[in-house]
Amino acid sequence: MDANKISLKTIAVSTAAVFLIEAGFRFAVVGKTVFPLPALAIVRCLESVLLVVIVSWLEKGTGAIGLLRPKIMTGFMRGLIWSACFAIAAGILFIILIAIGVNALDFLHGSIPSSWQHIVGFLLVGGVIGPIAEEVFFRGVIYGFFRQWGAVIAIILSTLIFVITHPIGGSIPVTQLVGGIVFALAYEKEQNLMVPITIHCLGNLAIFSLTILI
């Protein structure tokens, strides 16, 4: 498979495309610190499609980011297994933290939607559409570019960029840091972008659901 072989031209064009889309929509919603959910959904969908087109064009196919149609279902199933293992590990860690007097729920950040319509939109955008766009960019393109210097370098740098682009104020970005590492490890191991996409979607849905319920 050609996964993890992204050229400098591809990462440059992809980054420029994402930047221009983000800047354009921020200009369209001047005065707002965050995008309205419908606008955010459009942004992430547009980014996903454009990134796949760019990779297909410059890398002669989506195999360069480990996204091949015949292996989508296999990647989804492998992602379910990774997600189950991750959930078990997170549950054990949660119990340990509670046992030593640390409230693990403090690491969950985010505002709670006020209506069921906003909750559905929140889960759809933050739990499905957003993770797909982020995995195509952060793992498919960015990780794929840095992979030429080794897996360790790629994991560190792609995770660092992932964390930096998810600012949460002065708090420690625990979920982003752990998530970035897990997504990168899963991609490195499976060479199939559907694996980290599945883990990311299920992880976000779980976190957002907890945020809403508590």
Residue 56 belongs to a domain: yes
d(CA 86, CA 92): 10
Which residues form the domain of 82?
8-213
Q: How many domains are contained in the chain? A: 1
71 inside domain: yes
Cα–Cα distances (Å) from 163 to 58, 106, 143, 169, 213, in that order, read: 27, 18, 14, 12, 25
Inter-residue contact 144 to 3 (CB < 8 Å): yes
With respect to residue 3, please indicate whether it lies within any of the assigned structural domains: no
Give the per-residue pLDDT at 1: 43
Q: What is the largest CA-CA distance in the chain?
A: 53
Is the Cβ–Cβ distance between 161 and 174 less than 8 Å? no
Q: Give the global pTM.
A: 0.91
| C-alpha–C-alpha distance, residues 144 and 142, integer Å | 5
Tell me if 87 is assigned to some domain.
Answer: yes
Residues 140, 54 contacting (CB under 8 angstroms): no
CA angle 79, 184, 90 (to 5 degrees): 60
From the list 111, 140, 115, the residue with the least C-alpha distance to 126 is 111
User: Quick one: pLDDT at residue 37?
Assistant: 82
Q: Tell me, what's the pLDDT at 90?
A: 86
pLDDT tens digits in sequence order for the chain, 214 residues long = 456 689 999 999 999 999 999 988 888 776 555 567 888 899 999 999 999 999 999 999 999 999 999 999 999 999 999 999 999 998 898 889 888 877 766 666 556 667 777 888 889 999 999 999 999 999 999 999 999 999 999 999 999 999 999 876 656 678 899 999 999 999 999 999 999 999 999 999 998 887 777 6
Write out the H or E segment, with its range, that includes residue 186: helix 174-190
CA distance 70 to 84: 23
- Residues near 77 by Cβ (< 8 Å), separated by ≥ 6? none
How far apart CA 145 and CA 46 sit, in angstroms, is 22
| Within-domain flag for 2 | no
Task: Specify the 3-state DSSP secondary structure of 168.
Answer: strand
Q: Which of 36, 18, 1 is nearest to 195 (CA)?
A: 1
Q: Under the phi-then-psi rule, with left for phi > 0, alpha for psi from -120 to 50, and beta for the rest, what region is 9?
A: alpha
